[in-house]
Amino acid sequence: MDYYQLIATISLVTQIVVLVLLFASIWLKVKKKYRQHGIMMFTAVVLHTVVILAWMVPTFSSIFSYPIALNAFLIAPILVAIFVHAFMGVAAVILGFWLVASWRLQVDVKACFAKKKAMRITLTLWLITMVLGIIMYLKITMGF
């Protein structure tokens, strides 16, 4: 396993941890433990952002370092998947930050209930992005 494959694997494992945090957070919400739900969502958003900034942004920007390769690669389905993954991932993290920032560790959760639709959209974007990321990981690192 080379360095880049190792980093990609660490990134994937971290994203799976974030996914587990998301579902554990949903379970806490169902149990009406709203404060713990918010704290766990905050943790998931921060961890997700660290992976994006440490690994995904540099990797994505490296595509533009090789214009000849980019032009030849432009019609490849994997590049389309990368751009869709990036766009949806950025939208999910922005929505996640907005939701967490608007919550601000409040005791009163009434304001959160009003954002239920945005929460569902964010989770959907996050899940689609995660599936695309797993597919790209398998395609790039395993050759599927």
Integer Cα distance of 40 and 18 in angstroms: 10
The pLDDT of residue 20 is 94
Domain boundaries of the chain, sorted by first residue: 3-142
**Is the pLDDT confidence value at 67 over 80?**
no
CA distances from 140 to 10, 96, 114, 137 (A): 15, 28, 41, 5
CA distances from 94 to 106, 126, 128 (A): 20, 11, 15
* HEC assignment per residue over 43-88: HHHHHHHHHHHHHHHHHHHHHHHCHHHHHHHCCCHHHHHHHHHHHH
pLDDT tens digits, one per residue of 74-130: 567 777 888 889 999 999 999 998 888 887 656 666 666 667 898 899 999 999 999
The pLDDT of residue 114 is 65
pTM of the model: 0.79
The pLDDT of residue 21 is 93
**Is the pLDDT confidence value at 72 over 60?**
no
The pLDDT of residue 109 is 62
* Structure-model confidence comparison of residues 137 and 4, the more confident one: 137
The pLDDT of residue 88 is 93
pLDDT tens digits, one per residue of 12-64: 999 999 999 999 999 998 998 988 888 898 999 999 999 998 888 888 777 77
